[in-house]
Structure 1
Amino acid sequence: MNTTTLSETTTNRKSKHKGDHMAIWDYQLILFPIGNISELTDDGMDFIGPHTFSFHSAITVIRTIDFVKNYSPENKWPSFDDACYYCFNDEQSIVEIEINSGIHEEEAEIISIRTNIYRDEGNIEKAIEICKKLCKELNLLIWDMKMKRQIEKLKMNQVLKLQ
């Protein structure tokens, strides 16, 4: 059974590494496999279950999204793999994509989608579009870190209204 723990300000996979710090003002959506469960804890969120998805398949899907390129974030831990980081940038909006909390493994447990909604280039609509594509192709669910709940695929507009 896999357990991935996330806090609102730190992406943390239990027993794997210390974490990748994200800005507190980022809007973060976590994608995790259908069949696993999300559980709110004192430390943040746990994503628990036996299901994973192919790291390679995630990269394949991500690379089909227009304006997405692989990049190396400045604030990542040295042990994290650049293969885990992608950025959507269409010169108007920026959305960061992090696979498996920065750890390159054959099977992945989560994908983090982040955008800074307090800056001009932050765009939750683009983040949701990316989530929809990844969910459809990889059989994933969405956890909204700000709303602290799972987002139903048909109710993604609720995020846009509550941001």
Structure 2
Amino acid sequence: MTVQATHRGAATVGYVQDLPPLERDAVLYLRLWCDGPDAQARVWTAFAASLGPEAGRPALKALENLCMLCLRHGRRPMARHGVACKCLGADEACFANFVGYASEGSTEDALLLATTLVRPDMGYQVVGLAQEFGLALRRMVLRSQDPPRRVPLSVTLH
């Protein structure tokens, strides 16, 4: 049996580059967090650089707790691809979408997706953490975009 046949959560369902920025970042930070201490340090550096140390700490804690709960209370082991892999796995797609829904305040949709990854009794807890993490990602995405250009209301030619 192949790895994909035994771990359906790793099945490729798309490409990370095709995700919207918030969901793409959710997958990247999930992968980094699960990759060990050196990669976790990279997450902290990114959060602190974008949000500042004071706002970055709670965002990092939300990600840490979210990953811990997903891994400890999963319905089965969560499958993921390597940090640099361009493929998007089924579990990663589910994670990205549930973080996206949570950050929008769509609690019922987030809960529905969360319970495909974790036990139902952990659903509301992981959705709360996903909302906190997702809102931090939303701020980071907004800060990374170019500032809007000011368009003058009128122009004087002569």
TM-score surpassing 0.5?
no
Q: Which protein is richer in helix relative to its size?
A: 2
TM-score (norm 1): 0.29
Greater C-alpha Rg: 2
TM-score (norm 2): 0.30
Q: Which has the higher contact order (CA 8 A, sep 6+)?
A: 2
